[in-house]
Amino acid sequence: MRKHTIIILVVALAVAAVSLSACGGDDDSEANGSTTQPSTQEGGNEQLCSAVGDLQSSVTTVQGLDDSSSVADVESALTGVVDAGKEVASAAEAGPQADVSGLQSSIQDLEDALKAVPSSESVQAGLQQVETDADSVAQEASSVSDSVGCADGSS
């Protein structure tokens, strides 16, 4: 009788241990070799979507530049694009597996075009390339936004 009690107790403890270890955490991603938890992935999407939204806002500012814009306006727009570009790069690195290489390349082209404006004959002459590059960034940003499932408000 005592032997049955010990066996039942051991089985009960084993069942409890298995149950507790199953509830201990969502380490399923570690079992398949991945260290990214699903909640991190979703948070990464939100961060990337927010960064892309900020970039799109800075591109809208760039697209608003015209022949009446000053060099200071261009430099301010450049700062916005540079900051937003860094934010996108950081969010992409920390978040979802999104291909942002085309976006980063178009951001660099836009930065280069904006940097060239103050050395142009006129702001208007320099803005012709800026407009083309800004349109390219807007297209790439929209593509990244769509690929990671950003809500319409972020794209």
The verdict on residue 114 lying in a domain is yes
The verdict on residue 25 lying in a domain is no
The verdict on residue 13 lying in a domain is no
Q: Which of 147, 135, 34 is nearest to 92 (CA)?
A: 147
Q: Are 143 and 101 in contact (CB under 8 A)?
A: no
Which pTM value belongs to this model?
Answer: 0.67
Its domain, for residue 56, covers: 39-146
- If one counts the domains in the chain, the total is 1
Taking the C-alpha atoms of residue 76 and residue 81, their distance in angstroms, rounded to an integer, is: 9
The verdict on residue 123 lying in a domain is yes
Tokens of 144: 């990244």
Taking the C-alpha atoms of residue 68 and residue 45, their distance in angstroms, rounded to an integer, is: 38
* C-alpha count within 13 angstroms, C-beta hemisphere, residue 137: 34
Taking the C-alpha atoms of residue 147 and residue 16, their distance in angstroms, rounded to an integer, is: 44
Task: State the CATH number of the domain containing residue 85.
Answer: 1.20.120
- Tens-level pLDDT at each residue, the chain (155 residues): 544 333 443 333 333 333 333 344 444 444 444 443 333 345 568 899 999 999 999 999 999 998 888 889 999 999 999 999 999 999 988 876 788 899 999 999 999 999 988 777 777 788 888 999 999 999 999 999 998 888 765 44
